[in-house]
Amino acid sequence: MAVPIAVLDCDLLLYGRGHRTLDRFKLEDVTDEYLVSTYGFPRQFICYLVDLLGATLSRPTQRSRAISPETQILAALGFYTSGSFQTRMGDAIGISQASMSRCVANVTEALVERASQFIHFPKDEATVQTLKDDFYGLAGMPGVLGVVDCTHVAIKAPNAEDLSYVNRKGLHSLNCLMVCDSRGVLLSAETHWPGSLPDCTVLEQAALTSQFETELHKDGWLLGDSSFLLRTWLMTPLHIPETPAEYRYNMAHSATHNVIERTFRTIRSRFRCLDGSKGTLQYSPEKSSHIILACCVLHNISLQHGLDVWSAPATGHMEQSEEEYEQMESVDSEACRVRQELLLTHFS
């Protein structure tokens, strides 16, 4: 006699008929407080992501119960903001840890595909001038188009032979080069550089350098700390200030550059998967780089939605710099001339 083969519902086996999953109720059924405490963001923000990513996440499937875009986004946000695939998060949305991992991968790639839409330098003259004016209002530093720095994010060891990701502290990491505006909005984010590379080498090889040397440095510059070389489009502090004008320049530079340090703290506080408190990112360097970039996209979207309160420093291991850098001395005479003219014109 033929024995019928039943198609089993994994959620039913795991949780029973009475289990309430987010595929079975709408966001309106829960409070904003619950959404913020569990997934890090309020309803309006999550609904925006569903509209933005829904078509990409609604891929054809042969499964009888495909996971909805809404649930995929909640699963990913839960991981980004908690850094954990623990049972509590899976129970909250009614899917397994394996499904959680697939959801994070799907949402991450969807966000990375849209990175250039949300992370870019302004193009029109009016917006560029507003960018400069906002920076000038911080500490009187003129011509600033952004502040640049690197930060390390810990990852698992790719393999025993690959030492390129081992930083100066002996940890495996990605060295991420970022630029932000005066509000902490990211204007550039390169998240794939191996942790063994010093900041100055990352910048030398970065797309950012090519971009500024060919397009954006005509009427302004970035501010970088002493781990970078002085360039015509990158103003660094003076190693040993001697005159009152040089001291004023260094003070204005430091106060303005501090914006990106605060931005790093905000990102790691909001996205705990990056701060090391739950351990390293357990992915390949490429996938880890994509997760970092996805968090950068979400950071900018959150600022667009008014979620721009500066966060307090978090306890973790995502640090502004892994290296005890030496003062970089520029041999670019034109860059030295530009900085000297800036000193005489604005700080004397």
Query: Which range of residues forms the domain containing residue 29?
Result: 21-58+67-117
Pair 96, 206 in one domain: no
Coil, strand, or helix at residue 279? coil
Domains identified in the chain, total number: 2
Type of residue numbered 83: G
Pair 133, 258 in one domain: yes
Query: pLDDT at position 29, please?
Result: 78
DSSP per-residue letters across 25-94: S-GGGS-HHHHHHHHSS-HHHHHHHHHHHHHHH----SSTTPPPHHHHHHHHHHHHHH----HHHHHHHT
Pair 97, 138 in one domain: no
Task: Say if 289 falls within a structural domain.
Answer: no
Task: Say if 304 falls within a structural domain.
Answer: no
Task: Say if 2 falls within a structural domain.
Answer: no
Tens of pLDDT, residue by residue, the chain (348 residues): 444 433 333 443 333 333 344 444 467 778 888 888 888 999 999 999 999 999 999 866 545 457 889 999 999 999 999 887 655 566 666 777 888 889 999 999 999 999 999 999 998 999 999 999 999 999 999 999 999 999 999 999 987 678 899 999 999 999 999 999 999 999 999 999 999 999 999 999 999 999 998 875 668 999 999 999 999 999 999 999 999 999 999 999 999 999 999 999 999 999 999 987 767 898 999 999 999 999 999 999 999 999 865 544 444 444 444 444 455 566 689 999 999 999 999 998
Pair 80, 177 in one domain: no
Among residues 54, 156, 157, 53, the alpha carbon closest in space to that of 112 is found at 53
Pair 78, 126 in one domain: no
Boundary (domain end) residue, out of 95, 117, 139: 117
Task: Say if 307 falls within a structural domain.
Answer: no
Question: What's the chain's Rg over C-alpha atoms?
Answer: 23
Query: pLDDT at position 318, please?
Result: 45
Task: Say if 44 falls within a structural domain.
Answer: yes
Pair 110, 133 in one domain: no
* Positive or negative: CA dihedral 13, 18, 20, 24: positive
Task: Say if 135 falls within a structural domain.
Answer: yes
Boundary (domain end) residue, out of 99, 117, 135: 117
Boundary (domain end) residue, out of 86, 102, 117: 117
Pair 35, 126 in one domain: no
DSSP per-residue letters across 157-168: -S-TT--TTB-T
Pair 161, 242 in one domain: yes
Pair 85, 161 in one domain: no
Task: Say if 267 falls within a structural domain.
Answer: yes
Query: pLDDT at position 317, please?
Result: 46
Query: pLDDT at position 230, please?
Result: 96
Laid out side by side, the sheet with 173-180 consists of 186-194, 173-180, 144-154, 221-223, 234-235
Q: How many Cβ atoms sit within 10 Å of the Cβ of residue 181?
A: 22
Please state the pTM of the whole predicted model: 0.87
Pair 252, 218 in one domain: yes
Task: Say if 6 falls within a structural domain.
Answer: no
Pairing status of strand 221-223 against strand 234-235: parallel
Pair 107, 166 in one domain: no
Pair 100, 126 in one domain: no
Which residues have CB under 8 Å from 166's CB, separation 6+?
172, 195, 196
Query: pLDDT at position 180, please?
Result: 98
